[in-house]
Amino acid sequence: MIPYISNTEEDQKEMLKEIGARSIEDLFDSIPQNLRLKIDLNLPSSLSEMELVNELKGLSGKNAHLDEYVSFLGAGSYDHFIPSLVDHLSSRSEFYTSYTPYQAEASQGMLQATYEYQSLICELFKMDVCNASLYEGATALVEAAVLAHRINHGRKVLLAKSLHPEYRQVLTTYIKKTLGLSIIEVDYENGVTDLAQLKERISNDTCCVVIQNPNFFGCLEKVNQIEEITHQAGSLYIVSVDPISLGILIPPGEYNADIAMGEGQALGGKLNFGGPCLGIFTAKKEFLRKMPGRIVGETTDKGGRRGFVLTLQTREQHIRRERATSNICTNQALNALRAAIYLSTLGEKGLAKVAHLCLQKSHYAAKRIYQIPGFEPTFRSPFFKEFAVRCPVSPGKINKLLWDNKILGGFDLGRFYPELENSLLFSVTEKRTGEEIDKLTLLLEDMV
């Protein structure tokens, strides 16, 4: 067999001689004999490079992928079209292999790309400042709540139950266990936040109100009314948004959100088992110095030439740990770059077209499904690209039939919302064709 990592006996002898060891066993002298494993590991025999490639190809062939399956599954990660320019530019080696360097100003290209990303997101969200990105949507939400607490020191977080349930879990784990803050959930009514309950539960000790728009059910929240209730109580207003929806929906900055964040996977990110992801984080300018993560700024050098610098990087690696704004703020540089290329490629009109197609196709699909006897709207609130359907048979049976026909079905809402048992959440993006939607409805008709 031809080895794919060259390490001959001569190589081993030369390395051992260089480090002053007689044998490989000498390298383990410091480990007591009673702690050593006395039997051989039960491992398969080694493979050559050719054999290994064939083995991995066989394993990967067992995975379903979106070149083979049609996806109506969303719930946080979405099958949007990615222009070829995004892959072409982001796969250039100077971008693909780079990470925000510790001597940052030596990497002007990467800093400029990050600066452009920040500028594009600020324009899209209509917010004052954007950082260089965070891990993903859930941790960006956590950082938003922590920032709100840091600003006004309130001890309670009001959390809309229509927020992504996994985001709620991450937030609860982080701030309840670590900061000792109280989490108060606000119920939904007809798929959107119950405003009467929000008014009842908010208090002077509420540091922030957190909602999602469009929310987890795909419904559009009453963002202006929630803003009024929140700010009248002296709390901060945090909104998690789908960036694609901002092609046609009012951005958070225009309804006076204090902090707006979201999951950026839809902006040029692929669906490799749900990612990679990108945590978008924006805020009002008065919160700039309390924000987590890195912020790239534009400046000029002593010769008057345009340049870019890491303006803020308040991590525990750079300042005393107790003064750090976050310790989970590594930026997703490559994913942020892809988002910047995606937004630049589409432009304002292109993003609006994508959002319009999502809106039109999802409403066409909902109309077709609701015409099938037994299939009813779970909610009747306006929605963007996702909608919930109450089904006459179990979601498991429906999704099994769809799977057998090369379709990824909707998300079973009963998994997180027991009261929504037998409801499926369908997602329809601009990629779905009329033929694919019609096939979906024909298969659902076969279930009744």
Residue 287 lies in a domain: yes
Residue 139 lies in a domain: yes
Domain boundary among 308, 343, 378: 343
Q: Which tokens in the block code for residue 216?
A: 């987890």
Verify that 75 and 98 share a domain, yes or no: no
**Residue 100: per-residue pLDDT:** 59
Verify that 304 and 262 share a domain, yes or no: yes
User: What is the DSSP pairing of strand 259-263 with strand 236-241?
Assistant: parallel
Residue 317 lies in a domain: yes
pLDDT band at 103 (very low <50, low <70, confident <90, very high): low
**Helix runs in 77-222, H state only:** 84-90, 93-96, 108-125, 137-152, 165-171, 195-201
The mean predicted confidence, pLDDT, of the chain is 92
| 338/265 Cα distance (integer angstroms) | 9
* Cβ-contact 217, 242 below 8 angstroms: no
pLDDT band at 322 (very low <50, low <70, confident <90, very high): low
pLDDT score of 282 more than 90? yes
pLDDT score of 448 more than 90? no
Verify that 91 and 75 share a domain, yes or no: no
pLDDT score of 1 more than 60? no
| 30/32 Cα distance (integer angstroms) | 6
pLDDT score of 316 more than 60? no
**Residue 329: per-residue pLDDT:** 61
Least confident residue range of 87-101, 150-164, 268-282: 87-101
**Residue 317: per-residue pLDDT:** 59
Verify that 295 and 439 share a domain, yes or no: no
Verify that 427 and 356 share a domain, yes or no: yes
List the domain range (segments joined by +) for residue 441. 70-80+349-445
Residue 19 lies in a domain: no
Verify that 189 and 321 share a domain, yes or no: yes
Residue 20 lies in a domain: no
Domain boundary among 297, 313, 343: 343
Number of domains present in the structure of the chain: 2
Verify that 140 and 184 share a domain, yes or no: yes
| 280/244 Cα distance (integer angstroms) | 13
**Residue 3: per-residue pLDDT:** 56
Summarised one tens digit per residue, pLDDT across range 206-225 is 999 999 999 999 999 999 99
Summarised one tens digit per residue, pLDDT across range 140-182 is 999 999 999 999 999 999 999 999 999 999 999 988 877 889 9
pLDDT score of 64 more than 90? no
**387-406 mean pLDDT:** 97
Q: At what angle do helices 333-370 and 108-125 cross, to 10 degrees?
A: 30
Compute the radius of gyration of the chain from its Cα atoms. Answer: 26
Domain boundary among 290, 319, 343: 343
Verify that 336 and 354 share a domain, yes or no: no
Verify that 239 and 330 share a domain, yes or no: yes
* Cβ-contact 385, 431 below 8 angstroms: no
**Residue 98: per-residue pLDDT:** 67
**Residue 2: per-residue pLDDT:** 56
Residue with tokens 């957190």: 210
Residue 140 lies in a domain: yes
Q: What is the pTM of this model?
A: 0.89
**Helix runs in 189-242, H state only:** 195-201, 223-232
pLDDT band at 320 (very low <50, low <70, confident <90, very high): low
Verify that 362 and 334 share a domain, yes or no: no
Residue 196 lies in a domain: yes
CATH number of the domain residue 276 falls in: 3.40.640.10
Verify that 362 and 309 share a domain, yes or no: no
Verify that 414 and 309 share a domain, yes or no: no
pLDDT band at 356 (very low <50, low <70, confident <90, very high): very high
**Residue 404: per-residue pLDDT:** 97
Residue 74 lies in a domain: yes
The number of helix segments (H) and strand segments (E) in the chain equals 12, 17
